[in-house]
């Protein structure tokens, strides 16, 4: 396959080539394994590459296609964030505490992808237990941004965004608790969707903050992202938070609604925040473009200023509870030289967890402790309701909301790692979406003068993911950008 074909290749184009017998799935897999060998030593997107498994899968996919099978992703190689279980493969959450853990079952999203014939190249790096905004908090190594190797790819799904941007696979799954799909998608120049909470099953996703976590797709364009969502969405009895709703044909919806007109809200509070001038300029150009076909209206989301503080009480509190299971008893790392059970618990967690995870467990345990529960967790839950009500009121006036994804372009490795507050503020525009359980997408809208990607975020009402995808598709068609990282052009 020629280099030119590679940069143009998407899931839908690859499916067309496979269908017309121009390529085989085996050739496709070999090509992407070569890409991984070439670029992954530089960017470190993968924690584990399943060469043998993916080759076997490709051979089977080719045989099935010859026999007339029509899986929606038959023979398409993807990567998966390493906090989503694939039976028989490592699931480490980029933590030393799960270093040798092999998943005994498939997550529901993996079952759905397998049913449609998808192949898995491997598991991608993340901030440990998905706690971070830069993929520097991985227990193994940081991932680097393919647009500038000195910069972060965003987090926590940094490995998934980089693998997709570097064409080391045709798409990926990530998870988003406070911006962990959208922020790395913006930093790496790809498309990332956080679906409505309950749209996609969380069964088989290792829990961080259960009322906020959501699995979502990362793609090279909006069409691929819509197709991936179409396959992974839907009700699942194994997840009590999964909503009993039949998913739409998202791909057909966005194509049939290419000329739909929408009322788009611009939240005053987001645009008055401290934003890099180049991001502001790119958004202003986009808004001018949208004014031709859509109604633009300034709106208010008055409780936005409390979102980060609210999130950093609720998410650590839920993490403190969820991560109590990692104690060295049932699975994962165990400190073997302990002379008592209590010492084993303490030393296992002290050596097994990284600094950021320990920081959040301690914050969460404090917020839930006797005498502080009402002052912190209960109050944060009430503010969360106010934030959700802000959005519900706004959606009475507008169909969709447009905002920045991040306040800055990708920052340098090490720049914020010792300043947790600055790191937490990287997610200031994405966190409210998780607190309210809404769908949100990040898509590229341009480059800075330093050739770094800029993203825009579109937010929709609950279970209106198709509107979010539709608006993103319109913007993508209008801008017609070709987002190829510097690393692939060097």
Catalytically annotated residues: 81, 156, 180
Q: Is 427 exposed, middle or buried (0-12, 13-18, 19+ CB in 10 A)?
A: buried
Asked whether 268 and 298 are in contact (CB, 8 A), the reply is: yes
* Other beta carbons less than 10 A from residue 70's beta carbon: 10
**Are 192 and 442 in contact, with CB atoms under 8 Å apart?**
yes
User: How much of the chain is helix, strand and coil, in % rounded to 5?
Assistant: 45, 15, 40
- Length of the chain in terms of residues written: 490
Q: How far is CA 281 from CA 188, 267, 276, 297, in A?
A: 19, 16, 9, 18
Distance, in Å, from the CA atom of 320 to the CA atom of 364, rounded to the nearest integer, reads: 5
Distances in Å between the Cα of 466 and the Cα atoms of 171, 175, 189, 210, 249 are 19, 19, 21, 24, 9
CB-CB contact of 429 with 406 (8 Å): yes
Distance between CA atoms of residues 298 and 162, nearest Å:
34
């Amino acid at each position: 396959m020629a280099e030119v074909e590679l940069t143009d290749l998407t899931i839908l184009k690859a499916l067309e080539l496979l269908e017309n017998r121009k390529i085989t799935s085996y050739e496709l897999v070999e090509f992407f394994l070569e890409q991984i060998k070439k670029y992954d030593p530089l960017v470190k997107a993968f924690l584990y590459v399943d060469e043998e498994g993916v080759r076997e899968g490709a051979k089977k996919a080719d045989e099935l296609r010859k026999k007339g099978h029509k899986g929606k992703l038959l023979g398409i190689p993807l990567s998966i964030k390493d906090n989503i279980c694939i039976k028989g493969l490592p699931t480490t959450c980029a933590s030393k505490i799960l270093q040798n853990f092999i998943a005994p079952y498939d997550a529901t999203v993996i079952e759905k992808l397998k049913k449609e014939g998808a192949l898995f190249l491997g598991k991608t790096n993340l901030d440990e237990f998905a706690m971070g905004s830069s993929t520097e908090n991985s227990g193994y190594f940081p991932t680097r941004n393919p647009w500038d190797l000195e910069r972060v790819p965003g987090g926590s799904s940094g490995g998934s965004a980089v693998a997709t941007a570097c064409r080391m696979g045709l798409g990926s799954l990530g998870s988003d608790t406070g911006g962990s799909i959208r922020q790395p998608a913006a930093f790496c120049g790809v498309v990332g969707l956080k679906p409505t909470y309950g749209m996609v099953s969380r069964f088989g996703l290792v829990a961080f903050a259960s009322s906020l976590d959501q699995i979502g797709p990362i793609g090279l364009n909006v069409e691929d992202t819509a197709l991936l969502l179409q396959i992974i969405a839907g009700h699942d009895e194994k997840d009590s938070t999964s909503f009993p709703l039949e998913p739409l044909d998202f791909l057909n919806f966005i194509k049939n609604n290419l000329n739909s007109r929408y009322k788009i809200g611009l939240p005053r509070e987001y645009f008055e925040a401290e934003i890099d001038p180049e991001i502001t300029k790119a958004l202003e150009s986009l808004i001018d473009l949208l004014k031709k076909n859509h109604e633009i209206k300034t709106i208010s989301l008055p409780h936005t200023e409390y979102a980060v503080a609210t999130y950093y009480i609720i998410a650590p509190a839920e993490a403190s509870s969820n991560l109590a299971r990692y104690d060295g008893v049932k699975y994962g790392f165990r400190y073997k030289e302990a002379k008592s059970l209590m010492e084993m618990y303490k030393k296992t967690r002290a050596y097994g967890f990284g600094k950021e995870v320990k920081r959040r467990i301690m914050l969460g345990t404090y917020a839930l402790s006797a005498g502080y529960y009402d002052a912190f967790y209960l109050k944060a839950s009430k503010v969360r309701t106010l934030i959700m009500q802000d959005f519900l009121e706004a959606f009475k006036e507008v169909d969709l909301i447009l905002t920045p994804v991040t306040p800055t372009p990708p920052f340098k490795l090490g720049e914020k790692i010792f300043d947790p507050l600055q790191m937490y503020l990287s997610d200031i525009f994405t966190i409210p979406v998780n607190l309210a359980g809404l769908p949100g997408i990040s898509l590229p809208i341009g480059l800075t003068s330093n050739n770094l990607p800029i993203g825009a975020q579109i937010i929709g009402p609950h279970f209106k993911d198709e509107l979010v995808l539709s608006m993103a598709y319109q913007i993508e068609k209008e801008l017609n950008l070709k987002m190829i990282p510097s690393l692939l052009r060097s």
